[in-house]
Amino acid sequence: MRENPLHRRSAGILLHITSLPGPGPVGDIGPSAHRFVEFLASAGQTFWQMLPIHPVGGGDSPYDSPSAFAGAPHLISLESLVDDGLLPPSSLPPPSLERDRVNFDEVRSVLPPLFREAFLEFERSERRPLRNDYEAFLAENTSWVWDFALYSALKRKFDDRPWFEWSHDLRRREPHVLEAAHRELSTAVRYHVFLQFCFHHQWARLRAHARLLGVNFMGDVPMFVAHDSVDVWANQHAFFLDENGQRTVQAGVPPDYFSESGQLWGNPLYRWDTMREDGYGWWIDRLRREFLKFDAVRLDHFIAFSRYWEIPITATSAKTGRFLPGPADDFFHAARRAFGALPFVAEDLGIVTAEVEALRDRFQLPGMKVLQFAFNPGAEGYVPHRHTENTVVYTGTHDNDTTRGWYDGVVTRAGSTTPLRRNDASTVDPDENEKFAAAIELSRIEALSGTSQSVGVTPSLIRLLYATVSRTAIIRLQDALNLDGSYRMNVPGVAHGNWTYRCRSEQLSSEIAENLRALAIVTERFEPENQE
């Protein structure tokens, strides 16, 4: 593994691939992604941070995937398939039809027929260089790709029913039944393998281009996997399941200052003792595949490596549960043996205990600081002047409003209230108390940003963020473009309508790039003389 890029002072942009511009229904890893890499390089950015790149699940969420290993087929570029001779140029939409939003319904209706056309062309033609790459891909990915392809074919055969509703012998993965399914669904299995090869092939080109320009990729690894996933189906012994594949307990988090009732996620929980027996083999393989695509990864819900919240399967909210110990040091020692350097970002947001902080610090992992949290009364640990060097600071995450939208929201909550001194806050009406807290937050934002103008707050806070001692500074593209709250990526707790933001080509202007580059240089996050 290369030198840990998190050890250098740097800057980057958070933008999911689906948000890239283009005429298709969704952003992809083709020419538009290559152009974005060039934009990042011209803007003095060292990192491109993305959301998980695996197939999406419920609500089109990248955090609810049916596979922790597979690449998302909808990220495959049609333009690159044309370049490889697998599709005719007439398959491409006119470039003038650039979209403002991701259309997942169109993703599901338009892309599969074109992918099947490309698959048929690949099967009937020689294309020796591509064939050689395909054979190499199979040799390197045997541990997961055939299981994923069979799972995907079976899902289609059974009208998308979850694996734990299949026949008993398929649920239990009886060898003779799996062999029969491979024979029966041979063409469908090869099709899904082909899609994974296309993703791998196009990703390799993109990453090589990024490395040439000095841009590192940062990925995102969710802590838990979906119950209806090939990961659980193929590794049932590693999860708390009954003999029918049903969960016996479920994942979530208890009530905290983000949610009064906690969050009931419903994912199956790991049998960490079982995973420990083979040195966390599934996890190590998972991370190894991530490091083939990324230079660093964010470990989502890092807290659960220290302790996790176990919720009874009968519970209807996350209020009922108990904390149990995670794998802690043992897991990270195994990861260090496998990879040497640990280019992990610990997502340590939420109620963090001293034990979580100690685990993070023992392995020298940078934690996260979110600027939007810095102005809340009681959240002073996020205040910029209290940051430490070994942290990654964000304007906001994919779950936050844009900075401009967030500021407008604080203004609305504060109303006409001013942060006057209260002798006894306990006697204040709860609604008034919330307004009072918002007024304090607003006064702090305006004091540190030096402005009370909505349009001016975002660039001021970006300058503040770049000037912190935090080694890595990441801003969302929406904030670089100073967009309002209608352009946010995700609203937690809302099941539909998320993950649709897309930028437009003209927004990635040389002026934006030059401004970011100048700021990165003056804050010592970019050194032009080191660029080749």
Catalytic annotation, residues: 300, 347, 399
Q: Which amino acid is at 374?
A: A
DSSP 258: T
Measured between alpha carbons, how far apart are the two ends of the chain, in Å? Answer: 21
Residue partners of 263: CB distance under 8 A and separation at least 6: 252, 253, 318
* Strands annotated E in 359-503: 367-370, 391-394, 472-476
Q: Do 67 and 230 contact (CB within 8 A), yes or no? A: yes
> Taking the mean position of all CA atoms in its chain, how far away is CA 387?
24
Task: Report the 10 Å Cβ neighbour count for 417.
Answer: 17
Q: Which residues contact 120 (CB under 8 A, 6 or more apart)?
A: none
At residue 112, the 3 state secondary structure works out as helix
Q: At residue 117, what is the residue type?
A: E
| SS3 state at 344 | strand
CA distance 440 to 209: 47
**Closest alpha carbon to 23 in 84, 115, 103, 88:** 103
